[in-house]
Amino acid sequence: MKIERCVKESFVVIGKEGSTKDGAGFIQKLWDDANSHFGEVQHLAKKDEDGNISGIWGAMTDFSRSFRPWENFSDGLYLAGVECSDDAEAPDGWTKWVVPGYEYIYAERENDSSFPEVIKYLEENNIPLVGAVHDFTCPRTGKGYMYFPIRKL
């Protein structure tokens, strides 16, 4: 598994919000809802220099909404959405999160063991996890990544 580092300034995600308290399969239900109503937020999506959507995010936070890791990596809030311009406002039925800026370690999501492998890497290298892990899908390649915040900006 290839593990890389990057710095990402604070950014906005507008999406469909849910909670682990919503039961099994809640994340897939959020994505189904977000995808079936994407036209409502498509015009707000941040674009790259070629006009492509910049990023699709599965942003996460603890229940205090302070972007700390999920409790026991199993309880928290999830936002299935798209990266938007900073001044974008969420339409009715959508939620806007402003994700703080962090230095991240990130890795491609290869399989179900990717998350524990990166957590093990952080522990073995004495690198603290300082925030909630986010899922990122690159719209150009369709590849999925996990972003592990290791330093708040």
Amino acid at 69: P
| 74 pLDDT above the threshold of 90 | no
What single-letter DSSP state applies at residue 20?
G
Q: Where are the beta strands (DSSP E) in the chain?
A: 3-8, 11-19, 56-61, 77-84, 95-99, 102-108, 134-137, 144-152
Amino acid at 107: A
Q: What is the mean pLDDT of the chain?
A: 95
Residue 111 pLDDT level (bands cut at 50, 70, 90): confident
Residue 55 pLDDT level (bands cut at 50, 70, 90): very high
- The pLDDT tens digits for 115-128 are 999 999 999 999 99
Domain boundaries, the chain: 3-152
User: What's the CATH number for 3-152?
Assistant: 3.20.80.10
Nearest to 49 by CA among 140, 119, 115: 140
